[in-house]
Amino acid sequence: MKRALLALLALGLMVALSNKEAIQKEWEQSAHNNGVMGAKTLSVATVEARAEGAAHCARCHSEQGFIAWLDQLKKGNPGNLVGPDGKPATVDYLKSLGLTRDQVKPVTCKACHDEDGDLRLANDTPMLPSGFKATAVGNAALCITCHNTRNGRITWNAEDPGRYTYPHASSQGDVILGKNAFFVDDTREWPNPHAFFTGNACSTCHMSLAGTGEYSSHTLKTPENLCASCHGNKYTKEMVQENTAHLLSLLRSKVNARVLAVRDRIKTVRAYNPDTGQFTPNTPVKAPVYRVDITSIAGQIAFKMTLTDGTVLYSQLGDIRDEKGQPVFATKDPIVRASWNYLLLENDGSKGVHNPTYTRAVLLATLNALQ
């Protein structure tokens, strides 16, 4: 009897170890822990790369930073990492957390799970850097803690946002909960089934339904037929994405048309070099703008501008200036709010799948605002 019990325990341990190894291998394939994320961690979450600025990026781009920040977040401070004295984190304190090139870690098992294997956060979030809380979202509370715009709550009907700040990438939390878009009331509740009626929101689709056997997938990659799990075999993600892509295309065209209407006023930019990360002030725009693509540079809404002579210039929106050195596009120009909305939905990455009703409402309202 004793021998049989020991055999069962040994078998159970072997299965547990096998599952753990499988999960680890899956996690290594995920965007959170692969080579790309590792490089991102080194480029934004270390004191060598950002000095005190690592207190911002390390919150979500490193294991050590996230664990320290989550404790701070639960105490009511969603801002950048602070030291034990409550003051902004110094380089020395960030070093003590391990936020150096030789010690920093990307998002690992330990970032999401405590020593007992339990999630570090579930069901509800505290107030987030994006200015809202997520309530009753199951395991997705942990996901949304980082997957939000992280630049404060916008006022949806503001005529002048007063800034060119962009919605930080990985804005899935905002979109799935219907927050932080201009022209659409985000103070009301958007009853999105994907957020509230799937059990664990993000992790239901990206882990549970994507998993095989007895454990959830840790690649976080959804299978091709995911929508059929709930909506039936004839329903595909393309049914949402194709129309969303069309509306996004219309929005790009509207923004492009508004820029071309005032292109004669564009005289200089503070040109950005995406290869070096360097800026060149007062760069003359020697030919008319032919087209623009909406992007972001160093936390600001930006345009990639293609000129009629083939030259390509990158510039933050506020640095596109006229002959008097004034911004061609003031912060009150609807093009600023429209560009925010475009980036909010682009950075969500789902092309409407996460929250079809809200996504469509935002795009239609934005198009109307540019009439």
Cα 255 from Cα 146, distance rounded (Å): 29
DSSP H or E run through 295: strand 289-297
DSSP of 144-204:
HHHSS--S----TT-S--S--BPPPS--HHHHHHT-S-TTS--SS----HHHHSSSSTHHI
Residue owning tokens 């956060």: 121
Res. 35 pLDDT band, cuts 50 70 90: low
Res. 24 pLDDT band, cuts 50 70 90: confident
Q: How many percent of the chain have pLDDT more than 70?
A: 92
Cα 121 from Cα 317, distance rounded (Å): 37
Res. 16 pLDDT band, cuts 50 70 90: very low
Cα 318 from Cα 342, distance rounded (Å): 17
Over residues 50-66, the mean pLDDT reads 95
User: For the chain, how big is the Rg over CA atoms in Å?
Assistant: 23
The tens digit of pLDDT for each residue in 183-205 reads 999 999 888 988 888 889 898 88
Tell me, yes or no, if the pTM score tops 0.75: yes
DSSP H or E run through 304: strand 300-307
Measured in degrees and rounded to the nearest 5, phi and psi for residue 317 equal: -60, -40
Instruction: Evaluate whether 70 touches 145 at the Cβ level (below 8 Å).
Output: yes
**Residues 41, 355, 169: CA angle, nearest 5 degrees:** 20
Is the pLDDT reported for residue 8 higher than 70?
Answer: no
Cα 192 from Cα 221, distance rounded (Å): 21
